Amino acid sequence: MERRQKSHLTVRIYYEDTDCGGVVYYANYLRYFERARTEYLRERGADLGSWAEQGIYFVVSRVEIDYKAPARYSDLLEIETAVTGLSKASITFSHSVRDQNGQLIADSIVILVCVSGGRPRRIPEEIIVVL
């Protein structure tokens, strides 16, 4: 797939994001990735809320995260997001996280499945065109 449009989201690490060792708690990256995907879509004029009103939802079916280095309190992280795969019913997003010095913190792949009525469905064309 040749789609490589990218989006960038900056996240400041607060005390609440860290564990007792002062390192970002590993599960918080899932929250950051969710924000980054939402902003990726928002930048392209897509609104998850309007799709939900039509009964169309995207659910996470798979996540892979490779943690490369720790992020700590007060760090400024930049999350780069891109769509790297698309099938009839799923979208694959990639996320790369770097700190303010450009050090790679984490890489991730997240697969979302389009569902309606609790069952997988084909992604509508009006959604595909904004990706």
Residue 19 falls in the annotated catalytic set: yes
126 φ/ψ angles, rounded to the nearest 5 degrees: -65, -20
Q: How far is CA 38 from CA 20, 23, 35, 62, in A?
A: 29, 25, 5, 17
Q: One of 17, 19, 66, 107 is an active-site residue; which one?
A: 19
What are the beta bridge partners of residue 90? 113
Nearest 5 degrees, angle CA 125-CA 35-CA 10?
120
* Catalytic center residues: 19
